[in-house]
Every structure is written in C-alpha cells, then in structure tokens.
Amino acid sequence: MRKVWYKENPALLVEMKEEIKDDFPNLHFYESNGVIVVEGSFPIRHDKKSLDRYSIKITFLKDYPKSIPIVEEVGGRIPRTLDRHMNEKGEACLFLPEQRSEIWPIGSTFLEFLNCPVHNFFLGQSLVERGEAWPFGVWDHGVRGIRDYYVQLFGTEDMDIVIKFMLFIIAPKIKGHWPCPCGNGKRLRGCHFPFLLELRDKIPRNVAQRSLQFLLEAKSGKRKLKDNLI
C-alpha cells in the first residue's frame, strides 16, 4: 500500500512549513487521523496591512498534491449558503476543478495556494459581507458553472459540440486524421488539434470525465439538480 504523501516525502512537509512561517505565522500544521491539517487565522493583506481575518482549517488529503486541499472557514462567520460559495460543512469552493492548471497547477507551492485562490476567496467574502459584488465574478453553481466554463472554452453554446470536444479530452488518445469535433468538416490536424492537445494536458481526465457525466445527465434529465437547465 502506498504511503501517505508526507511520509513518502517528509521533505515536502518541512518545505511547506518553512515557506509560510514568515507570511502566515498563525497557521500551524498538525497530523490528525492520518491527514495533515493546517489551522489558524488567515489575514487578508494589502500593502503589508491586515484588512480582515478568517479562522480557517485546511486539510491535505492522503493523495496531496494530486488533490486540492480542502479549505474550511471554522469561525462560523460565513453563511453556508449558495451565494457565499460554502457548502453546509463550511467548505469553501475556491475554483472550478477544471481551472486548476491555470490557478494552482500541480507542483505549485502551498504559499502560492494561500496567496492566490485562498486569498482571493476570502477577500471576496469580506466584500460580499459588506454588500459589494464578488470582485472577480463567480461561476454559477453546480452543473451550470461547468456548462458555462466549457461553453466559454469551446466558444459555442451548442451542447452537442461541447460534449464532442469533451470526449476528445477524455479519450485515451486522439489522432490527427479524425474529424474535428467543432463540426466544420475538417480533419483534427488542420483544425483544433493543438488546442485539444493543450487542453488534454491542462484538464485532468478524471475531472473532465466527471463534468461530462454531469452534463450528459443534465442534458438527458437524469440529473435531478434544481439548477438543471440544460
């Protein structure tokens, strides 16, 4: 059986502690039930001044760094509601899993995680709490957010074409002589081949597979989500 990440690579844990200790001295690492947990107060800073603080807990699952750490607000300050992008367990939904490679690709540091998606999320919460809009916008909830992402990505609202593109992301391999999923009649090599090869590197296959399943279920009406709009 494979060891958990911090036993297999203890140097990574040491490195993570070291890299955040100056900027986030109030965040502490603990081992709890076989996972690493970081707890403490997270400051929203600008110009080296703290504008706000949140009590947070970050859990690194056994398959870290493959998995995205789970971020929770534990102070009970943020409502566990759709509009605040918190599930009922108090877990924050920082970004769409599809965007991981743009926001915090595998191999990025924990400090970068704190300074980018975590910082942006709680900065947004502070503004929303004061009646302002989310500063960088939001993805719609559930399958609608997934649909919007792929519609933007592929530049079409035609869900049949979106789904064809996604099948090409998931496929074990794609060949240049295949017809392009965009539907213009060209071969892949003369059309969206480079674009798809790049996406296959960016979006993990399991993430695309899961999203495709949601979109297909929503399209066929099998998915009983209240926001099933497709």
- Contact positions toward another protein, by CB under 8 A? 22, 25-28, 30, 39-41, 43-46, 48-53, 55-57, 74-82, 85-96, 99, 103, 116-117, 119-121, 123-124, 126-127, 130, 132, 134-143, 145, 225-227
* 39 phi and psi angles, rounded to 5 deg: -130, 150
Shortest Cβ 190–another protein spacing (Å): 34
Q: Smaller CB distance to another protein: residue 164 or 217?
A: 217
Spatial distance between the Cα atoms of 153 and 166, rounded to a whole number of angstroms: 11
Shortest Cβ 148–another protein spacing (Å): 10
Q: Smaller CB distance to another protein: residue 43 or 69?
A: 43
Residue 166 CB neighbour total at 10 angstroms: 24
CB-based contacts of 120-129 (< 8 A; 24+ apart in sequence):
120/94, 121/71, 121/85, 121/92, 121/94, 122/42, 122/44, 122/52, 122/54, 122/56, 122/73, 123/44, 123/52, 125/54, 125/73, 125/78, 125/84, 126/44, 126/51, 126/52, 128/83, 128/84, 129/78
Shortest Cβ 73–another protein spacing (Å): 9
Burial class of residue 45 (count of CB atoms within 10 Å of its CB; 0-12, 13-18, 19+): middle
Shortest Cβ 1–another protein spacing (Å): 26
Q: Smaller CB distance to another protein: residue 64 or 95?
A: 95
Q: Smaller CB distance to another protein: residue 82 or 171?
A: 82
Place of tokens 């191999």: 107
Q: Smaller CB distance to another protein: residue 14 or 51?
A: 51
Residue partners of 163: CB distance under 8 A and separation at least 6: 212, 215, 216, 219
Spatial distance between the Cα atoms of 74 and 59, rounded to a whole number of angstroms: 12
Shortest Cβ 184–another protein spacing (Å): 30
Shortest Cβ 65–another protein spacing (Å): 18
Shortest Cβ 111–another protein spacing (Å): 14
Q: Smaller CB distance to another protein: residue 79 or 194?
A: 79
Q: Smaller CB distance to another protein: residue 153 or 197?
A: 153
Return the biggest CA–CA distance within the chain.
58
